[in-house]
Amino acid sequence: MEKDKVAIVAYVVAKAGLEDEVKEELLALVGPTRNEEGCLQYELHQDGESKGRFMFYEIWRNEEAINEHFQTPHVRAIVEKFDRLFEEPIKKTLWKMLDTH
């Protein structure tokens, strides 16, 4: 199972004037996501120079856990607000973990 770990780095950009609202919406994802069975790490970061840019660093047990994550009520709720809150589509990269010491 360890060899199946997957990391995600995802970036989102808030629409101008909505930075604080987006920050609160994203922070609201952290607790429920960390409680998901397949979530091993879920960290939200805000750009130090541009308060409208946010980055998630995530580690998941496997790709199935990621797929389950996207079906949860907390993720589906923010997806419904996406066009209103975010300037551009999510930029996401998926990384296979090679060294799992």
Instruction: Encode pLDDT of 71-96 as tens digits.
Output: 999 999 999 999 999 999 999 999 98
pLDDT tens-digit map of 54-64:
999 999 999 99
Q: In the prediction, which pLDDT does 1 show? A: 44
Residue 44 lies in a domain: yes
Q: Is residue 70 a part of any domain in this protein? A: yes
Beta bridge mates, 14? 86
Per-residue tokens: 23:
């920050």
Q: Is residue 101 in some structural domain? A: no
- How many domains are there within the chain? 1
Which tokens belong to 54?
Answer: 């946010």
Q: Which domain holds residue 14?
A: 2-96
Q: Per the structure block, which two tokens stand in for 5? A: 């770990």
Residue 78, in any domain of the structure: yes
pTM value? 0.89
Task: Enumerate residues 6+ apart whose C-beta is below 8 A from 61.
Answer: 1, 4, 5, 37, 38, 39, 40
What integer pLDDT is reported at residue 97 of this predicted model? 79
CA distance 22 to 7: 23
Measured between alpha carbons, how far is 22 from 57 in angstroms, rounded to an integer? Answer: 17
* 45: CATH: 3.30.70.100
- Is 26 a member of any domain? yes
CA distance 91 to 3: 25
Does residue 91 form part of some domain? Answer: yes
% residues pLDDT > 90 (the chain): 90
